[in-house]
């Protein structure tokens, strides 16, 4: 049942690209535990094992380790650490402009491509990071009710923004488009929300987070159903979308297209391509949620009991009950995500058998692709460190601003 027409570029499986690709070629399936372990080890060493020193000692000797080791290590791993404070958006913007400006200057023959990718991916990503930074800033001081509303708002925003990114990246290969719009955007939001657990004002907020997450997961499964594809979606796309765009007279509802189009992106009336796209979105969504909760379960106790525990929101400034609640929720949520994953594959296998085998062929290729796995590793590592940096900014790990949460706690 494996359909080779679904594989757009099969040579990726045979040609390792980059260090991650070489590791995947050498280790096989064992490469994935290694890829999960490396970013966790990096965070543990840089943030929990290497001592920061006294955060309020302004002498060089008091800040030497932090300045010469921690900052350099994190900056080398990811160049986005200036974004934690809203003013850092300017620094990040200048860095990005510098990178793309250099590319445009040194490769004039590809200037149009560089500009297109900058406007269609980098600018929307900066907007996404800015929105998540605002979410983090408001969330840390909000009441339990407001935090619950923010959780729903973040999930809705991410749901919509993924679809927008998919359209913006139409000119690029389908695999990378799904990876950027499906995993990158979703994973960054999940990392930020998960590592905000220590700031939960009331355990009821965890219930709101679970409901919002479950609604998003179920919604994507509904989008592969016959009721949505053959009845609801055609009506909405024909009447609502055309009316919103002012396309009058409104055209008739198109007939379903049952032809096999492996490179179709699901924007048309083609049934198979739309169903594959929605399920691939769903796959990246549950992978993103599982990785975010797994990273929190591992790193939260490491940072809470590490050498720099006083400077982290997971440390002794967080009551034991609050930290325990966050760990219980992350662990229980991980089990629930596993159950939802099994349910999703059962639904696709039971009622959409053809799409199940098509998606399975795509996944076998993607998870064995020596190039593709490198992108996945880079994205997850990037999002982990960025989310931690955004959170730790407010606890004076990367800043000495007077309004930092850590400074307030020490003063009181």
Distance, CA of 172 to CA of 245 (rounded, Å): 25
Distance, CA of 47 to CA of 385 (rounded, Å): 11
Q: Work out the pLDDT band at 296, boundaries 50, 70, 90.
A: very high
Q: Work out the pLDDT band at 19, boundaries 50, 70, 90.
A: low
Classify the C-alpha dihedral 217-220-222-225 as positive or negative. Answer: negative
Counting beta carbons within 10 angstroms of the beta carbon of residue 120, is it exposed (0 to 12), middle (13 to 18) or buried (19 or more)?
middle
- Name the residue with tokens 């739309």: 274
| Predicted TM-score (pTM) of this structure | 0.83
Domain count, the chain: 1
Distance, CA of 174 to CA of 280 (rounded, Å): 11
Q: Is the pLDDT of residue 229 over 80?
A: yes
Distance, CA of 343 to CA of 339 (rounded, Å): 6
Name the residue range of residue 14's domain. 4-411
pLDDT at 315: 76
7: which 2 tokens? 């594989």
Q: Work out the pLDDT band at 130, boundaries 50, 70, 90.
A: confident
181, 162 contact by CB (below 8 A): yes
Going by C-beta distance under 8 Å and a sequence separation of 6 or more, which residues neighbour residue 194?
292, 293, 295, 296, 330, 387
Of 77, 74, 285, residue with least CA distance to 188: 285
Average pLDDT over all residues of the chain = 78
Tens digits of per-residue pLDDT, 51-98?
A: 776 655 666 666 666 656 666 566 555 443 343 344 444 545 555 666
Residues pairing with 366 in the sheet: none
């Amino acid at each position: 049942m494996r359909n080779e027409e679904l594989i757009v570029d099969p040579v990726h499986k045979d040609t390792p690209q980059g260090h991650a690709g070489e590791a995947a070629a050498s280790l096989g399936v064992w490469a994935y535990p290694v890829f999960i372990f490396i970013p966790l080890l990096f965070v543990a060493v840089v943030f929990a094992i290497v001592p920061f020193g006294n955060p309020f000692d302004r002498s060089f000797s008091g800040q030497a380790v932090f300045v010469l080791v921690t900052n350099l290590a994190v900056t080398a791993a990811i160049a986005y650490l200036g974004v934690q404070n809203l003013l850092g958006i300017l620094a990040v913007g200048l860095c990005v402009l510098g990178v793309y400006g250099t590319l445009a200057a040194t490769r004039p023959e590809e200037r149009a491509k560089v500009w297109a990718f900058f406007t269609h991916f980098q600018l929307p990503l900066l907007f996404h990071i800015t929105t998540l930074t605002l979410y983090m800033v408001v969330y840390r001081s909000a009441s339990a009710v407001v935090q619950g509303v923010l959780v729903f708002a973040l999930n809705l925003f991410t749901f919509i923004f993924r679809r927008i990114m998919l359209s913006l990246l139409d000119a690029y290969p389908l695999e990378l488009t799904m990876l950027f719009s499906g995993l990158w955007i979703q994973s960054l939001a999940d990392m930020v929300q998960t590592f905000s657990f220590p700031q939960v004002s009331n355990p009821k907020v965890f219930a709101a987070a679970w409901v919002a997450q479950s609604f998003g997961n179920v919604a994507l499964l509904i989008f592969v159903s016959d009721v949505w594809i053959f009845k609801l979606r055609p009506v909405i796309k024909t009447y609502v979308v055309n009316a919103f765009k002012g396309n009058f007279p409104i055209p008739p509802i198109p007939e379903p297209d049952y032809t096999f189009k492996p490179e179709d992106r699901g924007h048309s009336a083609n049934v198979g391509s739309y169903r594959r796209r929605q399920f691939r979105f769903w796959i990246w969504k549950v992978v993103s949620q599982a990785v975010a909760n797994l990273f929190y379960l591992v790193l939260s106790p490491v940072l809470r009991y590490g050498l720099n525990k006083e400077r982290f929101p997971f440390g002794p400034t967080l009551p034991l009950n609050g930290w325990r609640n966050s760990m219980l929720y992350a662990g229980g949520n991980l089990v629930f995500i596993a159950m939802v994953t099994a349910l999703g594959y059962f639904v696709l296998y039971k009622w959409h058998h053809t799409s199940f085998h098509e998606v399975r062929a795509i996944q076998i290729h993607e998870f064995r692709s020596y190039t593709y796995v490198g992108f996945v590793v880079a994205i997850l590592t990037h999002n982990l460190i960025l989310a931690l940096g955004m959170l730790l900014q407010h606890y004076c790990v990367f800043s000495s601003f007077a309004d930092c949460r850590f400074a307030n706690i020490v003063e009181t």
